């Protein structure tokens, strides 16, 4: 699917994020266009999760500018809930509601926030479950699912809001190795359909194959970015080279 350079979905300019005295994001700028799959690599503690969380204002922004789908997230007048409806997020630990079955998890936000009818939400949920290969798990509770199945439900649940943008924070890091592939496969499919995606992952193979761009972060800065071939196969910065030598 082609990247549409004329449509910047996420504009980040000189983003800063502090937690108290701790400067976590020091000066991060990036434009992410429609249809791009941006993979963020970097060592633990470099600010990758904080960066993602700033993109839907799960964190308050200390300085700089974040504009998502034309909405300025630093503007107090922006209706952040409306923006979030368009930005799906998938977490390392799935964050499913354990007291609800799969359909319940998937129907909650569309019925509560988008005022979908139960029938519409259910039909949509079943369609999405089919897409992630879990149509037979509609009535199951999270405790009855494997990690890979839970994460596929979490992705389907995010898609149920019909987002324009999907953010993934280490979606396969909590999975047993044999389940990583089934989740990456769903993400790959989504990418091929043109979804704009920002993915924090240590899956270098996924980055090589699927990313339109790779960003390497360290110490609250973007140290290096480029195509997967540039950043992964021909890194220029010593810190990128060092990181890749540890994970490859
Ligand atoms: P990464 O995802 O790259 O591992 P994070 O964005 O989670 O990094 O964290 C970057 C730094 O910010 C770490 O030093 C972490 O301890 C700190 N940090 C993250 N969230 C908070 C928070 N809510 N309060 C205080 N410090 C935080
Ligand atoms: Mg993280």
Strand partners of residue 34 = 4
Terminal-residue alpha carbon distance, the chain: 28
CA of 101 to the centre of ligand 1 (A): 32
Contact (CB, 8 A) for 24 and 51: no
In contact, 156 and 95? CB cutoff 8 Å: no
Contact indicator for 90, 201 with CB cutoff of 8 Å: no
Neighbours of 145 (CB within 10 A): 18
Secondary structure (H, E, C), 48-93: HHHHHHHHCCCCCCCEEEEEECCEECCCCCCCHHHHHHCEEEECCC
Ligand nearest to the CA of 217: 1
Tally of CB atoms within 10 A around 225: 17
pLDDT at 1: 58
Closest ligand (CA of 40): 1
Counting every residue written for the chain, the total comes to 248
Among 21, 25, 28, 47, which is best to mutate for testing ligand 1, by the most ligand atoms less than 8 A from CB? 47
Q: How many CB atoms lie within 10 A of CB 167?
A: 24
Q: Are strands 71-72 and 63-68 parallel, antiparallel or unpaired?
A: antiparallel
User: Do 216 and 39 meet the contact criterion of CB atoms below 8 Å apart?
Assistant: no
Which CATH architecture fits 8-245? 3-Layer(aba) Sandwich (3.40)
- Among positive and negative, which fits the CA dihedral 48, 193, 152, 157? positive
Ligand nearest to the CA of 91: 2
Give the pLDDT means over successive 10-residue stretches in the chain (248 positions): 87 98 98 98 98 96 97 94 95 97 98 95 98 98 98 98 97 97 98 98 97 98 98 98 94
CA 44 to ligand 2 center in whole angstroms: 7
- Ligand 1, atom 7, lies closest to the CA of 49
How many whole angstroms from its chain centre is CA 244?
A: 22
Substitution site in 16, 21, 24 for ligand 1 pocket (most atoms within 8 Å of beta carbon): 24
The reply to whether ligand 1 has any atom less than 6 angstroms from the CB of 24 is yes
Dihedral pair phi/psi, residue 165, rounded to 5°? -135, 140
Nearest ligand to residue 48 Cα:
1
Q: How many CB atoms lie within 10 A of CB 168?
A: 27
* Cα of 48 from ligand 1 centre, angstroms: 8
Pocket lining: 201 vs ligand 1, CB cutoff 6 Å: no
CA of 23 from ligand 1 middle (Å) equals 10
Distance of CA 68 to the CA centre of its chain: 14
Please give all residues whose CB falls under 5 A of ion ligand 2, grouped by chain where several chains appear. Answer: 48-49
Pocket probe for ligand 1: among 26, 28, 50, the residue whose CB has the most ligand atoms within 8 Å is 50
3-state percent helix, strand, coil for the chain, nearest multiple of 5: 40, 25, 35
Strand partners for 199: 39, 168
Query: For the CA atoms of 131, 135, 140, 145, what is the dihedral angle to 10 degrees?
Result: -50
pLDDT of residue 118: 97
ipTM entry: 0.99
CA atoms within 13 A on the CB side of 124: 22
């Amino acid at each position: 699917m082609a990247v549409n350079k004329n449509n910047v979905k996420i504009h980040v300019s000189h983003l800063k994020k502090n937690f108290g005295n701790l400067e976590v994001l020091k000066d991060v700028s990036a434009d992410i266009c429609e249809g791009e799959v941006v993979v963020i690599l970097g060592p633990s503690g470099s600010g990758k999760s904080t960066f993602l969380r700033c993109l839907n204002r799960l964190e308050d922004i200390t300085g700089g500018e974040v504009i998502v789908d034309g909405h300025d997230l630093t503007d107090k007048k922006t209706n952040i809930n409306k923006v979030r409806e368009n930005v799906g997020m998938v977490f390392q630990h799935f964050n499913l509601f354990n007291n609800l079955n799969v359909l319940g998890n998937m129907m909650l936000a569309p019925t509560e926030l988008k005022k979908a009818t139960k029938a519409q939400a259910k039909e949509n949920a079943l369609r999405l479950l089919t897409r992630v290969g879990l149509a037979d798990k509609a009535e199951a509770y999270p405790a009855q699912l494997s990690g890979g199945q839970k994460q596929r439900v979490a992705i389907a649940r995010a898609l149920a809001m019909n987002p324009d943008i999907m953010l993934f924070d280490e979606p396969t890091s909590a999975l047993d190795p044999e389940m990583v592939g089934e989740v990456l496969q769903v993400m790959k499919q989504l990418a091929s359909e043109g979804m704009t995606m920002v993915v924090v992952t240590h899956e270098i193979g996924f980055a090589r194959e699927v990313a339109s761009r790779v960003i390497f972060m360290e110490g609250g800065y973007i140290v290096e970015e480029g195509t997967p071939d540039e950043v992964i196969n021909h890194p220029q910065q010593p810190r990128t080279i060092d990181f890749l030598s540890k994970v490859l």
